[in-house]
């Protein structure tokens, strides 16, 4: 992400401009609801549809990110389309394993595309980016990281049932909702031991997630400390 000679962000840095702060808040609120409100999907099919509609906030942020530079940010647009298709399919056939996989794939692709974009903004922020905007980006990126790994775990379980075991409920299939929970427990390195990977690839995924989560916090905190307070609007 480049910065113009005058110090003003180029058009594709708009997500950190002051007038873009509402869209960052929309993304953060949507992610909080989605990443921690998934138990509502167990209350019935219509609640699941309501949950999926919350992804509208994430898609809206993606559209806002793509608009200034469609050629650069086309992966976000493609991933948003995949989520709309997969989510609609899943809403109509919630008992279908294929539809569930399509929905999760769309979710994972969109979250991954946004994660890469936000990490780029953290590593190379515009000179006039306010600290509060960078904090919003960092928190959103952390939530996206857990979501991406949660999708990965769910897809592994769908393709090879029994890759994960939920000791809290005993034998039986492990749902994607449970694996989202397990993903954030792993990301935070809490290690409750209730949801356990038993397949080699499942173990490799969550081992990598634990390492990535630790490195994310260390690198992002160091980066935020390095740039905090230097933007002109922070000093005003």
pLDDT of amino acid 129: 74
- Asked whether 210 and 191 are in contact (CB, 8 A), the reply is no
Kindly indicate whether the domain formed by 11-235 is annotated with CATH number 2.30.30.60.
Answer: no
The helix or strand, by DSSP H or E, that contains position 167, with its residue range, turns out to be: none
> pTM of the predicted model, to two decimals?
0.87
Cα–Cα dist 56/64, whole Å: 12
The helix or strand, by DSSP H or E, that contains position 197, with its residue range, turns out to be: strand 195-197
pLDDT of amino acid 107: 96
Tally of CB atoms within 10 A around 143: 22
pLDDT of amino acid 230: 58
pLDDT of amino acid 140: 95
**Which ranges of the chain have pLDDT less than 50?**
1-14
Cα–Cα dist 219/122, whole Å: 10
Sequence ranges of the domains in the chain: 11-235
């Amino acid at each position: 992400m480049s910065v113009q000679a005058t110090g003003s962000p180029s058009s594709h840095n708009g997500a950190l401009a002051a007038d873009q702060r509402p869209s960052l808040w929309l993304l953060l609120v949507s992610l909080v609801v989605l990443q921690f409100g998934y138990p509502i999907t167990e209350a019935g099919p219509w609640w699941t549809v309501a949950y999926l509609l919350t992804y509208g906030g994430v898609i809206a942020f993606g559209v806002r990110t793509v608009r200034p530079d469609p050629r650069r940010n086309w992966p976000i647009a493609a991933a948003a389309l995949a989520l709309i298709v997969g989510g609609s399919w899943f809403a109509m056939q919630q008992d279908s394993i294929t539809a569930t996989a399509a929905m999760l794939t769309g979710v994972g692709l969109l979250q991954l595309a946004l994660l890469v974009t936000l990490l780029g903004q953290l590593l190379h922020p515009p000179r006039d980016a306010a600290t509060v905007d960078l904090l919003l980006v960092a928190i959103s990126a952390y939530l996206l990281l857990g979501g991406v790994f949660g999708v990965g775990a769910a897809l592994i379980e769908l393709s090879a049932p029994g890759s994960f075991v939920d000791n809290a409920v005993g034998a039986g299939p492990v749902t994607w909702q449970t694996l989202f929970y397990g993903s954030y427990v792993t990301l935070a390195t809490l290690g409750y031991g209730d949801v356990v990977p038993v397949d080699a690839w499942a173990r490799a995924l969550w081992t990598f997630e634990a390492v990535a989560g630790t490195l994310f916090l260390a690198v992002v905190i160091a980066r935020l400390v390095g740039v905090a307070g230097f933007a002109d609007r922070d000093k005003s």
